[in-house]
Amino acid sequence: MARRKKIYEGKAKILYEGPEPGTIVQYFKDDATAFNAEKKAVIEGKGVLNNRLSEFFMTGLAQIGVPNHFIKRLNMREQLVRSVEIVPLEIIVRNYAAGTMSKRLGIEEGTQLPRPIVEYCYKDDALGDPLVTEEHIAAFGWASQQDMDDILSLALRVNDFLSGVMMAVGIRLVDFKIEVGRVFDGDFHRLIVADEISPDSCRLWDIDTGQKLDKDVFRRDLGDLKDAYTEVARRLGVMPKNAPPVTKPTLIN
């Protein structure tokens, strides 16, 4: 294949220039990181699973009219996506208390929240993605009021979709993070869901047993991360039922 220009390398993905203007190739790595990359590992096959899972969620979202960057999957580890101007926010939606919310507010993990709560973190690894308010976002010009209205609406629609899809396969969507980006049409722009939606950026608990099926398995050393993600993929029918190990490319495409 012709050499491609690398645009950006993050913790879990690499972005390459796409074949057409306005497109990007998103490559899913096997690297797992937690605690702002203080903890690192290579989990063989994770990239393949997340590529498939993100495709599955983004395709479903598009089918119910939630705009997102996904165009098509190219191969085991790569997908073609629309290039966007990323809004520098991690948009978190929580249905049950967990993680930093539990710590910050002293709410026991797993407590159902009175309603979905949306939080914003400023995307800056050096600062550890600090929690910010809409005041910060407006004052520093990270997003306009119209953008914020659209972001809230996108986040809640993604939450309803993902919660339903997960509930149908016996999984509780505790919380998740999305990123959004701007696509331009002349002087106007609109916001679409970008980045990825995968167990790397969600908390997913088995409804009956409470078993964790997300990146907390890695963060908290609870077992094999690949097994957990494979279980999510299997339940959603994303991987064939008796799929061979995800590292054998010829058999799962």
Nearer to ligand TYD, 19 or 128 (CB): 128
> Minimum distance between the CB of residue 51 and ligand TYD, rounded to whole angstroms?
16
C-beta closer to ligand TYD: residue 18 or 49: 49
What minimum distance in Å lies between the beta carbon of 140 and ligand TYD? 18
Which residue number, 18 or 155, has a Cβ lying nearer to ligand TYD? 155
Q: How far is the CB of 22 from ligand TYD (least distance, A)?
A: 26
| Residue with Cβ nearer ligand TYD (117 or 168) | 117
Q: Please provide residue 82's backbone torsions phi and psi, each rounded to the nearest 5 degrees.
A: -75, 140
Residue nearest to ligand TYD (CB): 99
Q: Which residues bind ligand TYD (CB under 6 A)?
A: 90, 92, 98-101, 121, 129, 175-177, 201-203
Minimum Å gap between C-beta 55 and ligand TYD is: 18
Nearer to ligand TYD, 27 or 218 (CB): 218
Q: How far is the CB of 122 from ligand TYD (least distance, A)?
A: 10
